[in-house]
Amino acid sequence: MKNYSKLYYNGRWHAPDAGAVIEVVNPATEGIVGSVPAGTAADVDQAAAAARTALPGWSATSPKVRAGYMTQIHEELVARGPELAELITTELGMPIKLSQRIQAGLPAVVLETYVKLLEEFSFSERIGNSLVLKEPIGVVAAITPWNYPLHQLMIKVAAALAAGCTIVAKPSELTPLNAFVLAEIVDSSGLPPGVFNLVSGYGADVGEALAGHPGVDMVSFTGSTAVGKRIMALGAETVKRVALELGGKSATILLDDADVETAVKVTISNCFLNSGQTCNAHTRMLVPQHRYEEVVDLVRLHAAAYIPENPLNTQTRIGPLVSAAQRERVLEYIRSGIADGAELLLGGVEAPEGLPLGYYVQPTVFGRVTKEMKIAREEIFGPVLAMMTYDDEDEAVGIANDSIYGLAGGVWSADVDRAERVARKLQTGQVDINGGRFNPLAPFGGYKQSGNGRELGRYGLEEYLQTKSLQF
């Protein structure tokens, strides 16, 4: 049980303005595993003031000095990795082996990439008779989601620190405990007071206060498209920079010459990762009409291996959803798919066997899904795969692009040049070709209503910089 009673700002732990508490629930057991303060707008004022006060000194430090502090944080993050993995599994429900590699391991990798980037990144350049300076944008509000809580927080914190910005972080109220561990790590690193600040709370209270706060220069938000639109509107009142990484309904295209067995295995793994609670999950599988039955047999075979179980079991491949509300949301989409006439190939609305407690759903696959169906158009955020057929390459691209979202996608073909040609036609921020691996240095972000701005690597760093030109 981890119970935190104080917020972290200006280099110290402070009692919150009010005494309200947010209880954190283990989605596998439905038991309470910790608590954090429910912050208020008054707490945001204190944290933002601390960040503003710290900004001149931190922004004036050299990249080498900033990298030194970040290296200390990295070392402690690695040391506490096993603890963080288990903690996030109890908050979120991701299987422990995946949490070790992704939820705890990936934030450390991301932080290390920014340490190395500071060794080579130039914060100025000569253009003709001008010297162009890249300066920190200022105080950053980092508002993060529950599905990859520490990773999404570190993406923002690492880039902001590297840029010379100060930060006020607001984690999701569903999975906030890991952010308090990060605050402990930051506190032990000796980072100057006010550079990193943490205020937990609900979106309507802390999130909205940060998005509209006159002392905040930039909001970086990861979450739903609906909330992203609200944050953009609030930020517009003070003309903040707003970076948004929002929803997705990504399609993977199996071209007619693809290695379908490998494509199916990788796509199912991608779709069911974190119980489908992944913004860039490939949740639409586009299959040539003449290979549909062949692919269905493979999908049934490989999807059946994902059996919901206790996420602390090292053999578990899929755990519960994060909350009762999320479970009901996913079940409603499954009901919608059945009502709309999609072919239910696997799973359904019945609870998985042998799990009387926990927010579990059966991994579900629908076939013969058409583009008008709700399950083909809306982000479900659960382990639900929609299989759709097409007759030719142009139709496949048209189906993939027929979405308000444009975050990710995939193309599979025996001909890499052909796959690249198709990938270039997709209106989306990232495309995996034949299962291409995640690259923490490549820009991550979306087209259309999947957001704006980019995270990770050099592109992520530049989001937190503004330019000034000096003419000579």
Within 8 A by CB and 6+ apart from 398, the residues are none
Establish whether 245 is a catalytic residue: yes
Closest by CA position to 247, among listed 275, 219, 280, 273: 280
DSSP code, position 7: E
* Alpha-carbon span 8 to 194, nearest angstrom: 9
Q: By the 8 A CB rule, do 364 and 347 touch?
A: yes
Rounded to whole angstroms, the Cα distance separating 444 from 49 reads 31
Q: Which long-range contacts (CB under 8 A, 24 or more apart) does 314-319 make?
A: 314/96, 314/97, 316/95, 316/96, 316/97, 317/95, 317/272, 318/95, 318/272, 318/275, 318/363, 318/383, 319/27, 319/28, 319/89, 319/93, 319/94, 319/95, 319/275, 319/360
The phi and psi torsions of 372 (rounded to 5 degrees) equal -80, -15
Distance CA 349, CA 2 (A): 34
Beta-sheet strands, E only, within 156-272: 166-170, 196-198, 218-222, 241-245, 250-254
HEC string for 396-427: HHHHHHCCCEECCEEEECCCHHHHHHHHHHCC
- Active-site residue, from 165, 208, 279, 379: 279
Among 217, 220, 239, residue whose Cα is nearest residue 453: 220
Q: Report angle CA 401, 402, 408 to the nearest 5 degrees.
A: 40
3-state SS class at 42 = helix
Angle at 214 between CA 213 and CA 218, to 5 degrees: 75
d(CA 205, CA 18): 12
Q: What is the DSSP letter of 351?
A: P
* Residue in 91, 173, 208, 245 annotated catalytic: 245
Please identify every residue annotated as catalytic.
Answer: 245, 279
